[in-house]
Structure 1
Amino acid sequence: MGAEFQMNTQFSAGIQAMLPLLYAAWADRHLNLKEINAIRKRAASLPFLDETDKAVLLEWSDPARPPERELFQQWQTMGRNAAEQLPEDRAASLAELGVILGHAAEGNAEDRQQFWVDQLPVLTELELGLGGVEETTYRGLFPLYDQRKKLTESIEEATVDPAALQAVLDGKYAGTIARVKEILQRPSFERNMLPVKEDFRELVLAWCKELGEEGIGALAFDEEYGGEDDMGAYAAAFETLGYHDLSMTIKFGVQFGLWGGAVANLGTKRHHDKYLTATGKLDLPGCFAMTETGHGSNVRGLETTAVYDHDTKELIVHSPSVGAGKEYIGNAMHSKMAAVFCQLIVGGESKGVHAVVVPLRDAEHNTLPGIRVEDNGYKLGLNGVDNGRIWFTRVRVPVENLLDKFGGISAEGTYHSEIENPSRRFFTMLGTLVGGRVCVPRAGMSAAKSALAIAVRYGLRRRQFAADPLKAETIILDYPNQQRRLIPLVAKAYATQFGLDYLLERYVNRSEEDMREIEAMAAGLKSYATWFTTAAIQECREATGGKGYLRENRFADLKADSDIFTTFEGDNTVLMQLVAKSLLSDFKKSFKEDGNFAVLKYMGRRMTTIVTEQNPISIRQTDREHLTSRAFYQSAFEFRSRRLTSTLAQRLQAYIKGGMNSYEAGLRCQTHMIEAAEAYVEALVLEKSLERVDALGKNHPTYAVLKKCVQLYALHTIEGHRGWYLESDYIAGNKSKAIRKAVDVLCAELRPEAGALVNGFGIPDKLLGAPIAL
């Protein structure tokens, strides 16, 4: 007992046993008469003190001679070191520390151990004789005890119940989310740090297989194929998986969302009957072979071909070059089948990109003739996902393998489609697969929420520095800078979640007329949310210092596994350009349809903004009521989005009038396009957050806290763009400073709610996993 830590050999065993009591007696910097009498009276009869010890004790209990600061701090350090040896089931008492210190000073001699245990009642009596010890004293000596207590207190002092917040976030999918969490906490889902990718992949495959057997993978499929025909429930399940392991989440998404989704959404009933039931149970592993080495995000430019041979009624799938190989294909090493996206050629004429089901392996898992698969090897993260490259050398498959919902080949060998325009047909096909962009950011947000929960909970437990070295150190989340780092991210996580929930609702209830808007919305929110995930996890890692750098505390995996989210399911930069193009189309369409009325409306809005928002009084108004009012921050978001879109349109028009083609003009304005898209997404997130909070009603137990979160999200975002707002004369310098101060105040006001807000994410401790957060 005590061999693991260093004692001060200048002190005898008896004096070391008394040090916690002396520390407590002097903790308020002076001894009262009751404490003096208690210590001196009992010291005279203590069997473990010799005459020299008693003399030292009398000297150190002299109220006229307080101990030197260095000596007092030495007592505290020794006490804290001893407290680290205190078993969790033992009381946090000064007497217990005295036993540990006294025994440690004598070494490990067995004949001394029982002696010090026998002295525990004597030391306990002395502790009681002090007449009660201040809580700050215990905080100074028992850091681990204090951490446990402080975390509980931090949740209890909040004005909102985490369960009420979780109910808001889970919404109508609470049952599905709870069911998935129950599965993930089974012993079979125990996390193991497997450094060899093949071992890790087998574990992830087993996890996905169990999820398939439980019916989770088939949630979006029709009931006749084992599903529930509920895309919303599937998305909620996918998001929940992100709390456990992202390799599992992505492999799950590839198997059931991409491969299964391609069959379900691009195929017809014969494909559904043949593949979906087995796919949903993971009896038929499949992959989604779209991306090529040479073309990346340019799906329209894919080189892989599927040439129709009418004589044999077969499609010949071929990779004409090394660069035409399918790249980074998830599930490539485990799959039996692939949905291969290729240029369909019928009668010597290209009909654009279509998907063809191509068998990859036989029953013994050997690759079939004409198929070459290579492992992508180790990656930055997601090493539980078996990514690979695939090439096809004149592989023949029956024409029935063409997923022909939007275009097929007749018995006579001619191509037919209900969508005559090739461009519209291409985008309609891809639009059915937008579910990936709806789901991926939700899993990314699970990673961000996990990081925030770990960092905030650690911030409520960890202490660092103190103004008074004789008092307890400061909880790090009480530092304004730590609040500034984490609390706006928590607020943004709630706001972004509300935006993603709106996107999911629109996608689940979509009509054909809505799809172009939904695709743009999905592209923008996917980019915005996954960029946020990357930034939030990094900030949380830094906010937890060296502890966050330990792999056991999960930031290593959260960072590495989520990093790819910014570039798969569409590179974020490319997606934001698509959003900007959609905004320009809508802008142009409004002018074309409304003619002169649109011009008058546009000019009228500009004049209204100048009069009501950009007048000398408004741009300098700094009172809190104004800054935290919806009228201010929502108008500011809308102004930014509107102005960036209109000036982008004007710049492009000017370049084209000057002789540039539209492609060159687009390159000149590329950064402007991305900024306009970001402004659109931020305005959307704010609008949907406000609607979500309004729908709760003012009497809802979470209303006040969530309203304040939205205010913080809004002002913190405006603060981040303050340079643009200053350049645009929307705010003056004094207002910019006032916004910064308002953010500080909101962070401080939400500080008591921080623990409840992250617990409101509803992440079970077993899934959160990080020791520093438990």
Structure 2
Amino acid sequence: MSQLTESPTSPASIPVTETPAAPSVPIAPAVDVALLGEQLMGRWGDIRRTARTLAARADMKRVEGQSMLEHRERVMGQLHALVTEKAVHRAFPISVGGNENHGGNIAGFEELVLADPSLQIKSGVQWGLFGAAVMHLGTEYHHKKYLPGIMNLEIPGAFAMTETGHGSDVAAVGTTATFDTHSGEFVLNTPFRAAWKDYLGNAAVDGRAAVVFAQLITQGVNHGVHAFFVPLRDENGFLAGIGGEDDGLKGGLNGIDNGRLHFTDVRVPRADLLNRYGDVAEDGTYSSSIASSGRRFFTMLGTLVQGRVSLDGAAVVASKLALTIALTYGSERRQFTAGSESNEEVILDYQRHQRRLLPRLATTYAMSFAHEVFLAKFDGVFSGAHDTDADRQDLETIAAALKPLSTWAALDIIQESREACGGQGFLVENRLTSLRADLDVYVTFEGDNNVLLQLVAKRLLTDYSRRFAHAGPGVMAQFVVDQVNEAAINRTGLRSLVQNVRDFGSTARSVGNIRDEDSQRQLLTDRVQAMVAEIAQHLRPASKLPKVEAAALFNSNQNALIEAARAHGELLQWEAFTDGVHAVGDEGTRQVLTWLRDLFGLSLIEKNAAWYLIHGRISGQRALAITSYIDDRLLPRLREHALDLVAAFEFTPEHLGASIALGAEKQRQDEARDYYRAQREAGVAPVAEKNIGRSERA
């Protein structure tokens, strides 16, 4: 083999002095606002934007200071505008002029909260509850007879389920519908005061009909709660046998005419039983395609889950609105000369202000991503694409998990945003006080939040017991064993991991381990599973106890059940947020969202640090390290991107409607700074008394 040789004078032999490479400076990540906005708008982004265009119109927006009667009249007029704009037909059957677009329909209605929550809820009563009950619980006969009038608002209606004495316990309502075989009619009665239908939108003034939920009794047998189409009023007022009252002024949502209804021997034609799941023949014989009365009841109620879907989504939109106002104001309002003798600091630069708002921004992003998953699940069920019994049960569980978390969080976020804006936040013109008042009731209607979380906990216990019904103590002790498949994750949100959660020891490593995505998942998942396993062990004797003792045992674990369900809902949100991060193509945006996701996950662990410490999942050192990492690393990083993160919500000035988020505060602050700067430059600024002695000493 020959060798390649070089002569002494060849270029390769001449020493070359290389210029040292400039040290690499990491490029700070930037948020692609347009890309992120498109992702947040989700699958039905075009419908959301169409709804927002409508919500931005002056005639659709709330007028502050109106009387209750004026507000009600305005909102009813706005409902007619929704009909004119064909904004109400999307979910209804094609046979009556609808589009059968269930997910898009909910997405559009959620955005109406930007105009006025009263408008969003009253439209939801008319088309999402009253109309949807006729659509989902009725048959083709009811669709053709009633849906066109419901859709075009010729038949304003109420959804008469809740009673003064029974709200969340629908199965125990007192109103009865007894079949009279001689007349072929049902006889509707409210036998006592607590059975009056209450808190019903459209009942006090506008409603001409209602879907009334009552105990169906025929041939001496109570077949449980069924729904009936019942006319209420004509141009002269209530029809014979029907009475009612106005609920009057409320703590919020006063554009809705909530009222009470009661019935005395009201005759309802047999054909007006909404009989998709249960029917009565002319001779009074009852029949149903669902043999189990319990399963039949939950199937009927499950068709009406869209109310919880829309409340979850509206709470997310309202949270985004509040944070956009508060973070914009915080980036412009100046207070105290902490780091300068002359310039006051922007309040969002203070760590405490960041602590107040940025974790709530992270929560809002988690809620937003989770809602899109929830909405897609809802659309899959109601479009028929994924409509098995398991799918419907999963949808009901997700609804019962997410609606409480988002509505509670919305109240917290709006209130903290109000306080973060000081006196300006208390002015009605800046929207936050009215928004807080209107969303207050979201936490109790369409299911009280605590009751809903109890339903989630029961589902978790059911899944747990099915898996471990015949397991011995050794298997029970190793509950966290292996990774479950994606289908199971979608159903329950529970993940089993390869190893038990353990603390990794040194302080130096603690933050790095917790910051890792898999470690966050491990800690959040293990908490849910450990809580469910512990409760299951406590309740294990219940099946062998007398009813009274079993109920007492369950009651003694009720709070733990609700806390486990809350943890499960938070895990669902974290998983959805993480999936959303992975879906981002832009590297800078993905990095910022990762920090925001970490803030959400670590804030959950920090909030529940006592549980993790008591159960030996983390050490005291690690708990301290989590707080330090949030304060010293995540908050400063995210502070630089806060305005971009809210800009991605795509709100226009017409949507915000708050002067402090539209430049008024910046103008005031700039004027003040210019004034003092001019004084200093002209040498006419007075000397502060505290500086006189200092100057003399110098």
* TM-score, scaled to structure 1: 0.77
Q: 1:562 aligns with which of 439, 459, 477?
A: 439
> CA separation in 2, counterparts of 1:212 and 1:402?
27
Q: 1:723 aligns with which of 610, 616, 619?
A: 610
Match of residue 702 from structure 1 = 589
The Cα of 1:759 is off from its aligned counterpart by 1.5
The alignment's C-alpha RMSD in Å is 2.1
Distance 1:610 1:447, change over 3 A: closer
The residue identity in structure 1 corresponding to 2:466 is: K
Match of residue 662 from structure 1 = 550
SS of the counterpart of 1:684?
Answer: helix
Structure 1 stretch displaced more, 340-349 or 595-604: 595-604
Q: 2:451 aligns with which of 574, 597, 615?
A: 574
The residue identity in structure 1 corresponding to 2:620 is: G
SS of the counterpart of 1:474?
Answer: coil
The Cα of 1:611 is off from its aligned counterpart by 10
1:406 is aligned to 2:277:
yes
Q: 2:388 aligns with which of 502, 505, 512?
A: 512
The Cα of 1:607 is off from its aligned counterpart by 11
Distance 1:327 1:695, change over 3 A: same
Structure 1 stretch displaced more, 496-505 or 184-193: 184-193
1:603 is aligned to 2:478:
yes
The Cα of 1:433 is off from its aligned counterpart by 0.7
Q: 1:350 aligns with which of 222, 226, 230?
A: 222
| Matching of residues 580-659 of structure 1 within 5 Å | 580-592=457-469, 595-596=470-471, 600=475, 603=478, 605=480, 614-615=501-502, 617-618=504-505, 622-654=509-541
> CA separation in 2, counterparts of 1:478 and 1:602?
48
SS of the counterpart of 1:172?
Answer: coil
Distance 1:618 1:315, change over 3 A: farther
The residue identity in structure 2 corresponding to 1:543 is: A
Give the conservation status (yes or no) of the 8 Å contact 1:622–1:738. Answer: no
> CA separation in 2, counterparts of 1:220 and 1:494?
27
Runs of 5+ consecutive residues of structure 1 not aligned to the other structure = 1-156
Give the conservation status (yes or no) of the 8 Å contact 1:591–1:599. Answer: no
Give the conservation status (yes or no) of the 8 Å contact 1:640–1:679. Answer: yes
The residue identity in structure 1 corresponding to 2:619 is: A
SS of the counterpart of 1:419?
Answer: coil
Structure 1 stretch displaced more, 275-284 or 540-549: 275-284
| Matching of residues 425-440 of structure 1 within 5 Å | 425-440=296-311
The Cα of 1:767 is off from its aligned counterpart by 1.5
1:762 is aligned to 2:638:
no
Distance 1:597 1:250, change over 3 A: same
The Cα of 1:614 is off from its aligned counterpart by 4.8
Give the conservation status (yes or no) of the 8 Å contact 2:253–2:438. Answer: yes
> CA separation in 2, counterparts of 1:690 and 1:650?
32
Runs of 5+ consecutive residues of structure 2 not aligned to the other structure = 1-27, 382-386, 484-495, 663-698
1:267 is aligned to 2:149:
no
> CA separation in 2, counterparts of 1:468 and 1:574?
50
The Cα of 1:613 is off from its aligned counterpart by 5.3
> CA separation in 1, counterparts of 2:419 and 2:89?
39
The Cα of 1:560 is off from its aligned counterpart by 0.3
1:421 is aligned to 2:292:
yes
Distance 1:200 1:610, change over 3 A: closer
> CA separation in 2, counterparts of 1:367 and 1:727?
61
**Deviations along 1:667-690, whole A, 9 cap, x unmatched?**
100110011101111111111221
| Matching of residues 162-561 of structure 1 within 5 Å | 162-332=33-203, 333-362=205-234, 364=235, 366-467=237-338, 470-510=341-381, 511-513=387-389, 514-561=391-438
> CA separation in 2, counterparts of 1:384 and 1:654?
50
The residue identity in structure 1 corresponding to 2:478 is: M
Matched positions, count: 614
The Cα of 1:168 is off from its aligned counterpart by 0.6
SS of the counterpart of 1:495?
Answer: helix
* TM-score, scaled to structure 2: 0.85
> CA separation in 2, counterparts of 1:338 and 1:616?
58
Distance 1:641 1:230, change over 3 A: same
Give the conservation status (yes or no) of the 8 Å contact 1:162–1:757. Answer: yes
> CA separation in 2, counterparts of 1:578 and 1:621?
42
**Deviations along 1:615-670, whole A, 9 cap, x unmatched?**
45358564443221112111000010000000011111256667763311111001
Q: 1:713 aligns with which of 600, 623, 639?
A: 600
Structure 1 stretch displaced more, 383-392 or 274-283: 274-283
> CA separation in 2, counterparts of 1:610 and 1:206?
55
> CA separation in 2, counterparts of 1:315 and 1:161?
61
- Considering only CA atoms, is the larger Rg found in Structure 1 or Structure 2? 1
1:675 is aligned to 2:563:
yes
The residue identity in structure 2 corresponding to 1:704 is: Q
The residue identity in structure 2 corresponding to 1:375 is: D
The Cα of 1:413 is off from its aligned counterpart by 2.7
> CA separation in 2, counterparts of 1:214 and 1:570?
31
SS of the counterpart of 1:217?
Answer: coil
The Cα of 1:602 is off from its aligned counterpart by 5.7
Structure 1 stretch displaced more, 459-468 or 573-582: 459-468
**Deviations along 1:84-131, whole A, 9 cap, x unmatched?**
xxxxxxxxxxxxxxxxxxxxxxxxxxxxxxxxxxxxxxxxxxxxxxxx
Give the conservation status (yes or no) of the 8 Å contact 2:164–2:194. Answer: yes
Distance 1:598 1:403, change over 3 A: farther
Taking only the aligned residue pairs, the percentage that are identical comes to: 40
**Deviations along 1:441-498, whole A, 9 cap, x unmatched?**
1111111111111100000110001136642110110001100110111111011111
Q: 1:773 aligns with which of 645, 650, 661?
A: 661
Match of residue 746 from structure 1 = 634
Distance 1:429 1:656, change over 3 A: closer
> CA separation in 2, counterparts of 1:365 and 1:217?
28
Distance 1:413 1:613, change over 3 A: closer
Give the conservation status (yes or no) of the 8 Å contact 2:242–2:266. Answer: yes
The Cα of 1:692 is off from its aligned counterpart by 2.2
Match of residue 696 from structure 2 = none
Match of residue 96 from structure 1 = none
Give the conservation status (yes or no) of the 8 Å contact 1:449–1:493. Answer: yes
Give the conservation status (yes or no) of the 8 Å contact 2:480–2:499. Answer: no
Give the conservation status (yes or no) of the 8 Å contact 1:614–1:729. Answer: no
Match of residue 689 from structure 1 = 577
The Cα of 1:331 is off from its aligned counterpart by 1.2
Distance 1:714 1:610, change over 3 A: closer
Give the conservation status (yes or no) of the 8 Å contact 2:480–2:526. Answer: no
Distance 1:315 1:700, change over 3 A: farther
Give the conservation status (yes or no) of the 8 Å contact 1:591–1:598. Answer: no
SS of the counterpart of 2:212?
Answer: strand
Structure 1 stretch displaced more, 307-316 or 258-267: 307-316
> CA separation in 1, counterparts of 2:223 and 2:482?
50
> CA separation in 1, counterparts of 2:44 and 2:542?
49
